[in-house]
Structure 1
Amino acid sequence: MSILDNFIFCAFLCLVGGIFIASQGAINAKLGQYTGQGLSSVIVFCIGAVASVVYFLIEVKGKPPTNLSMMMAKAPWWSWTGGVVGAVFVIITILAIPKLGAGTTTAIIVSAQLVFSCIIDHFQIFEIPFRPYTVWRGLATISLIGSVVVIAKF
């Protein structure tokens, strides 16, 4: 059994991820003030690429699988777009945080993430297992929008 099978550990990782995402936008926006918005995005992704290579080498214990190219060839076309999606996200936060603030920007982004994640679950987009968009999820969506309004206004 892997530690990743532990619900509490995975929830903790998500908590850390949320803290990192909230911090990332503010950090990237500050870097953008000194290097320019476009260059800060390039710097962020270069450093991220190095960190990802280190993680990959740790994961495979320095030896990539022998059938890696065959595994990669089987991936659906859209699975290769994550880097573009990530770059768009980073650029949006670099542009929005100086204007809206970290709280409002993050509130809008997190709300959009949650709503679209529920849509992904319901319509099984990206081959995700079905989870219905229930009345309760709809009420939560309305609450999220209300939260964004409050955070943006006050």
Structure 2
Amino acid sequence: MIHNNESHATDLSSIKVVSRQSSVRSIKPKNMSILDNVIFCAFLCLVGGVATASQGAVNSKLGQYTGQGLSSTIVFCIGAAASCVYFLIEVKGRPPANLALMMTKAPWWSWTGGIIGAIFVIITILAIPKLGAGTTTAIIVCAQLIFSCIMDNFGFFGLPIRHYTVWRGIATVGLIGCVGVIAKF
């Protein structure tokens, strides 16, 4: 019999059985992070959106002075340095002892992020002078959202499946319409 503070029996049929791993986690006190705050994460996404929209225009302007290929190289060198600083802050100056082993376990496609980032930067450097920042960003964001929904639907890259519903389809049509309006006007 299980007793609570008032010393009377608790009905055991109401106790939910959980896996051993889950029950161990629930016993340990959870270290809360600011990243556990949904509002803060949404704020970060807003900052990321502003940064992404600004990045194309900033990179394009640098490309006018240095050439498109060199500006992409400069952008990634500065980005690599900033990422290294963030990494050192994250690990408090001491990388994990098993870092090399963990890196060898990563799937092959997880190493293509730098190439994908370079493609993005080069495309914005090339497109913004021709289409403008608004149209370029609208097309990119629309493509990002549609492909993100496709990735969710099929669980690409190990994502949990979230089906492409009729509502997401309607939103997709709306996105395409918004891009048309932004490009035309």
Deviations 1:81-114 (A, max 9, x none): 0000000000000000000000000000000000
Match of 2:120 in 1: 89
SS in 1 for 2:160: coil
- Pick the aligned partner of 1:127 from 141, 152, 158: 158
- Pick the aligned partner of 2:178 from 127, 147, 151: 147
Counterpart-to-counterpart distance in 2, 1:146 and 1:46: 37
Match of 2:148 in 1: 117
Q: Any runs of at least 4 consecutive aligned residues in structure 1 with deviations exceeding 4 A, and if so which?
A: none
Q: Could you tell me how far 1:8 is from its partner in structure 2?
A: 0.4
Q: Could you tell me how far 1:51 is from its partner in structure 2?
A: 0.1
Q: Compute the TM-score of the two structures, normalised by the length of structure 1.
A: 1.00
Match of 1:108 in 2: 139
Q: Could you tell me how far 1:58 is from its partner in structure 2?
A: 0.2
Matched, 1:28 2:59: yes
Q: Compute the TM-score of the two structures, normalised by the length of structure 2.
A: 0.83
Q: What 5-or-longer segments of structure 2 have no aligned partner?
A: 1-31
Q: Could you tell me how far 1:17 is from its partner in structure 2?
A: 0.1
Counterpart-to-counterpart distance in 1, 2:129 and 2:47: 24
Matched, 1:41 2:72: yes
Match of 1:98 in 2: 129
Q: CA RMSD in A?
A: 0.3
SS in 2 for 1:69: helix
Match of 1:73 in 2: 104
Larger CA Rg, structure 1 vs 2: 2
Match of 1:6 in 2: 37
Q: Counterpart amino acid of 1:142?
A: V
Counterpart-to-counterpart distance in 2, 1:84 and 1:144: 27
Q: Counterpart amino acid of 2:132?
A: G
Counterpart-to-counterpart distance in 2, 1:148 and 1:133: 20
Q: Could you tell me how far 1:115 is from its partner in structure 2?
A: 0.2
Q: Could you tell me how far 1:36 is from its partner in structure 2?
A: 0.2
Matched, 1:59 2:59: no
Counterpart-to-counterpart distance in 1, 2:152 and 2:36: 21
- Corresponding residue pairs, total: 154
Counterpart-to-counterpart distance in 1, 2:157 and 2:53: 25
